[in-house]
Structure 1
Amino acid sequence: MRHLIAFLIKFVMIAAVLLIVLTWIFDVSFVDTLLISLALSAVAYMMGDLLIFLNAGKPSDQTTRNSIATFSDFLLAFLVIWFVGQLLTGDMAQMVAPALISSLVIAAGEWFFHLYMDQKVMPEYNEYKSAK
């Protein structure tokens, strides 16, 4: 259940960013934006959050793991948005700017999402102890 809630939070975060950047600013259709959001959320959660974030360093070194995972999420978001966006819209060159802008904003959100993952979804991984 914790993973489902985390995935939904990630999807809402990504969908909100992409709706603002892709749909409102760059006129990508609403349906295409939701498809890109779903694809990116699924790939990023599995690769960025469950694979890279957990294995990028020592469990106790959250800052290093977070930095590596956030940079990886930036690259992954850029590539997925650009690739899936050009598949859906048919315009490769014009998807570069929206993908770059979206990826930067998503990466900023990912930093905080990784903190949430560390504390609420997988606290046993690094023996997280909350301050009381």
Structure 2
Amino acid sequence: MNQMKAIAMKFVMIAVVLGVILSGIFQADFGQTLLISLVLTVLAYLFGDLAIFRHSGSHLNYRKRNVMATISDAVLAFLVIWLMGAALLGNGHHIVIASIISTIVIGAGEWFFHYYLENHVFGEKHRHSNKLSHP
């Protein structure tokens, strides 16, 4: 249940950022913006949050895992927004600018989102398993 809540939070964060930037500033269709948000949410959660943040390095080294996951989320965000934006909205210099701005804002949000994951989604499991293995 905590993972579903985390995915929903991530989707809302990404959809708001892309809604403001792609639809609000760059006049993209909101339906296309939601599609990009959905694809980015799923890919970023699977790769950035589950594969990299949860499993990279020691669970004691939160900062290292957060930096690695935030950078990977930002790179993925840029690529997804740019490639899907070019395919759906047209390949102009505006989509690159929109992708860069969106990536910066989403990357900042991801930094704090990983804190939430550590303390409310993944951290609970690690603390529970440590209690069981170290009486």
Q: Where is the helix percentage greater, Structure 1 or Structure 2?
A: 2
Alpha-carbon distance in 2 for matches of 1:119, 1:92 = 41
Alpha-carbon distance in 2 for matches of 1:4, 1:92 = 35
Instruction: Tell me the matched-pair count.
Output: 129
2:5 is equivalent to residue 5 of structure 1: yes
After superposition, give the CA deviation of every residue in 1:40-96 in whole Å (9 maximum; x if it has no partner).
000000000000111221110000000110011110000000011111112253311
Tell me the TM-score normalized by structure 2.
Answer: 0.90
Aligned to 1:69: 69
Q: Which segments of structure 1 move beyond 3 Å, counting only runs of 4 or more? A: none
Alpha-carbon distance in 1 for matches of 2:53, 2:92 = 30
Q: Secondary structure at the match of 2:123?
A: coil
Unpaired runs of at least 5, structure 2:
129-135
Aligned to 1:55: 55
Aligned to 1:119: 119
Alpha-carbon distance in 1 for matches of 2:81, 2:112 = 21
CA contact (8 A) 2:26 2:94 kept: no
Alpha-carbon distance in 1 for matches of 2:64, 2:126 = 13
Q: Secondary structure at the match of 1:122?
A: helix
Alpha-carbon distance in 1 for matches of 2:63, 2:20 = 29
Tell me the TM-score normalized by structure 1.
Answer: 0.92
Matched letter for residue 7 of structure 2: F
CA contact (8 A) 1:60 1:126 kept: no
Matched letter for residue 83 of structure 1: L
Q: How does 1:1-132 map to 2 (within 5 A)?
A: 1-127=1-127
Determine which structure has more spread, i.e. the larger CA radius of gyration. 2
After superposition, give the CA deviation of every residue in 1:9-61 in whole Å (9 maximum; x if it has no partner).
00000000000111111111111100000000000000000001112211100
Q: Secondary structure at the match of 1:123?
A: helix
Q: Give the superposed CA RMSD.
A: 1.6
CA contact (8 A) 2:54 2:122 kept: no
Displacement, 1:125? 5.0
